[in-house]
């Protein structure tokens, strides 16, 4: 039993193997990760984080970026050594065994699937905020979150189906649309910074550390989740033209780009408005509020709302893409039904897989208030990060001969430090979140023992070691 649970997938069965069309170059992969990271979070997070740390929230962003970087370095090495569609699921199958790979894959389903639904739910509110400037709007019953004024969230349904349609058309088409949206939303955040700097007052930064180092760490835990998504490029391992070279560039490069942008936006926001006033502002529209105040009109806030809409669309597109590729890898290994592996001969994309995932996400996004389940995605994300840090250590020891386009520096110190910091972060999460996560994992283990273990390709003599 133990040997079958921890059977390893041979590295040669994963590295370099692809059934999908390799169409994505270095810039497309970079924009995929940047598009996944910059969601609605930066448009609302400052209103929550600044009251915890004051101007020292700048240090909080740097601390959160460092924690994310530790895992990003491990992702970069594994992605360059094992360029597969399954991301951390595939890496774990090679390094830690089938049962651990299933657990990681199941955590990723929670991270990707529920986060897409949760982000899609809020798109209608930003859409109404934008339309409101033109005197029109969608009734709250058809645009608001279910259970919070909404009955059926039409915009959430539309955005998920629109993204699914793009993905069915092909990975290259989706990448082009995502690139345009990323350029637009980065441009709007730069626009906000320029506008906010017109009201800049350097005295707003004094005192710099009013709430001490504890405030910095508390805010870092809050803003850390604004960095999640850098691993999106790793799900494109089988559609990257040169994965060993380009995946590490996209993973690490996206963190550098986003950190610089977040610091720019934060400096501009702090300079335009004293940090002590943030607790009295609407956190959901803090950037729009600052922009309107600086310009003395509503037009700047309308552009910020447009930026939030574009950001959400981009995140839904990239995250939905990642979800389908992970399920594709799991189906190919026999852990899920083969319907997830059927590839269209025209577009060379998993069409049935994409349709199933879109329906599975659109229904709860339209009808259900996700609540605590959405918060549980943070555990799934951090759990996958921890396993990747362990996996890079195991692969370096077991298979030092594998060609790597990138090697984690200061090995094994940085991966171990990454694991420790992840444990610190998850230990502070709400107990209810842990209960939801435990229930999700229990369902996953039932499915594994009832179906996946018996249908595993390795279990049928596919090369287990």
Domain assignment of residue 78, yes or no:
yes
The domain tally of the chain equals 1
Domain assignment of residue 375, yes or no:
yes
Q: What is the pLDDT of residues 106-134, one digit of tens each?
A: 999 988 888 888 888 878 878 887 888 88
What does the pLDDT read at residue 464? Answer: 45
Neighbours of 87 (CB within 10 A): 29
Higher pLDDT, 389 or 39: 389
Q: Which residue has the tokens 């970026």?
A: 65
What does the pLDDT read at residue 15? Answer: 60
What number is the average pLDDT over the span 19-39? 89
What does the pLDDT read at residue 284? Answer: 55
Q: Supply the pTM of this predicted model.
A: 0.89
- Tell me the C-alpha distance between 170 and 173, whole Å: 5
What number is the average pLDDT over the span 244-262? 96
Q: Is the peptide bond before 322 cis (omega within 30 degrees of 0)?
A: no
Which domain range does residue 179 map to?
22-460
> 415-420, long-range: CB within 8 Å, 24+ apart, which pairs?
415/70, 415/73, 415/74, 415/389, 415/390, 416/389, 417/70, 418/67, 418/70, 418/71, 418/73, 418/74, 418/385, 418/386, 418/389, 419/386, 419/389, 419/390
Q: What is the pLDDT of residues 351-397, one digit of tens each?
A: 999 999 999 999 988 988 766 566 677 788 889 999 999 999 999 99
What does the pLDDT read at residue 286? Answer: 82
∠ CA 253-381-439 to the nearest 5 degrees?
A: 170
Is a pLDDT exceeding 70 seen at residue 462? Answer: no
Is a pLDDT exceeding 80 seen at residue 456? Answer: yes
Domain assignment of residue 4, yes or no:
no
CATH at residue 340: 1.20.1740.10
Neighbours of 211 (CB within 10 A): 18
Is a pLDDT exceeding 70 seen at residue 283? Answer: no
- Tell me the C-alpha distance between 76 and 255, whole Å: 12
Q: DSSP string covering 351-387, please?
A: HHHHHHHHHHHHHHHHH---THHHHTHHHHHHHHHHH
Query: How many Cα atoms occupy the beta-carbon half-sphere of 332 within 13 Å?
Result: 23
**What percentage of the chain exceeds 90 in pLDDT?**
57
What does the pLDDT read at residue 380? Answer: 84
What does the pLDDT read at residue 211? Answer: 94
**What percentage of the chain exceeds 70 in pLDDT?**
94
Is a pLDDT exceeding 90 seen at residue 178? Answer: yes
Domain assignment of residue 341, yes or no:
yes
Please give the mean pLDDT across all residues of the chain. Answer: 89
- Tell me the C-alpha distance between 189 and 263, whole Å: 11
Cite the DSSP H helix spans in 206-349.
212-223, 243-272, 286-295, 299-332
What number is the average pLDDT over the span 15-44? 83
What does the pLDDT read at residue 46? Answer: 85
- For 48, phi and psi rounded to 5 degrees? -100, -40
What does the pLDDT read at residue 216? Answer: 93
Is a pLDDT exceeding 80 seen at residue 424? Answer: yes
Domain assignment of residue 11, yes or no:
no
- Give the sign of the dihedral formed by CA 141, CA 159, CA 110, CA 112: negative
Higher pLDDT, 292 or 427: 292
- Is the Cβ–Cβ distance between 267 and 58 less than 8 Å? yes
Helix (H) or strand (E) holding 115: helix 115-121
Higher pLDDT, 285 or 332: 332
Higher pLDDT, 79 or 368: 79
Residue 196's pLDDT band (cuts 50, 70, 90): very high
What does the pLDDT read at residue 75? Answer: 96
Domain assignment of residue 3, yes or no:
no
What does the pLDDT read at residue 275? Answer: 92
What number is the average pLDDT over the span 266-290? 81
| Lowest-confidence region among 223-232, 244-253, 330-339, 394-403 | 223-232
């Amino acid at each position: 039993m133990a040997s079958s649970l921890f059977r390893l997938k041979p590295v040669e069965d994963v590295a370099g193997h692809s059934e999908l069309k390799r169409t994505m170059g270095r810039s497309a992969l970079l924009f995929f990760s940047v598009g996944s990271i910059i969601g609605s979070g930066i448009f609302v997070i400052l209103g929550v984080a600044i009251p915890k740390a004051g101007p020292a929230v700048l240090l909080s962003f740097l601390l959160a970026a460092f924690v994310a970087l530790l895992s990003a370095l491990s992702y970069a090495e594994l992605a360059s050594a094992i360029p597969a569609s399954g991301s951390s699921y595939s890496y774990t199958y090679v390094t830690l065994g089938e049962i651990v790979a299933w657990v990681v894959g199941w955590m990723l389903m929670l991270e990707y699937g529920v986060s897409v639904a949760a982000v899609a739910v809020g798109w209608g509110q930003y859409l109404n905020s934008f339309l409101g400037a033109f005197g029109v709007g969608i009734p709250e019953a058809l645009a608001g979150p279910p259970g919070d004024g909404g009955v059926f969230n039409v915009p959430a349904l539309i955005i998920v189906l629109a993204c699914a349609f793009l993905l069915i058309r092909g990975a290259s088409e989706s990448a082009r649309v995502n690139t345009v949206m990323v350029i637009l939303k980065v441009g709007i955040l730069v626009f906000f910074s320029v506008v906010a700097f017109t009201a800049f007052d350097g005295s707003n930064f004094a005192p710099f550390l009013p709430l001490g180092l504890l405030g910095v760490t508390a805010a870092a835990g809050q803003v850390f989740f604004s960095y999640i998504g850098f691993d999106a490029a790793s799900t494109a391992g089988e559609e990257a033209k040169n994965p060993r070279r380009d995946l590490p560039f996209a993973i690490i490069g996206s963190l550098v780009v986003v950190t610089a942008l977040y610091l720019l936006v934060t400096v501009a926001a702090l300079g335009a408005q004293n940090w002590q006033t943030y607790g009295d502002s609407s956190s959901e529209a803090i950037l729009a509020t600052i922009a309107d105040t600086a310009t003395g009109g509503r037009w700047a806030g309308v552009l910020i709302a447009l930026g939030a809409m574009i950001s959400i669309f981009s995140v839904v597109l990239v995250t939905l893409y990642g979800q389908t590729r992970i399920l594709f890898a799991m189906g190919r290994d026999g852990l899920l039904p083969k319907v997830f592996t059927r590839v269209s001969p025209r577009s060379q994309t998993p069409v049935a897989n994409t349709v199933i995932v879109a329906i599975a996400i659109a229904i709860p996004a339209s009808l259900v208030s996700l609540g605590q389940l959405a918060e549980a995605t943070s555990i799934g994300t951090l759990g996958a990060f921890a396993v990747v840090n362990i996996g890079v250590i195991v692969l370096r020891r077991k298979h030092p001969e594998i060609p790597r386009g990138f090697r984690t520096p200061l090995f094994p110190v940085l991966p171990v430090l990454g694991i420790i910091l992840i444990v610190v972060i998850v230990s502070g999460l709400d107990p209810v979140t842990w209960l939801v996560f435990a229930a999700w994992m229990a369902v996953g283990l039932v499915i594994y023992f009832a179906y996946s273990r018996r249908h595993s390709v390795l279990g049928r003599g596919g090369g287990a070691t």
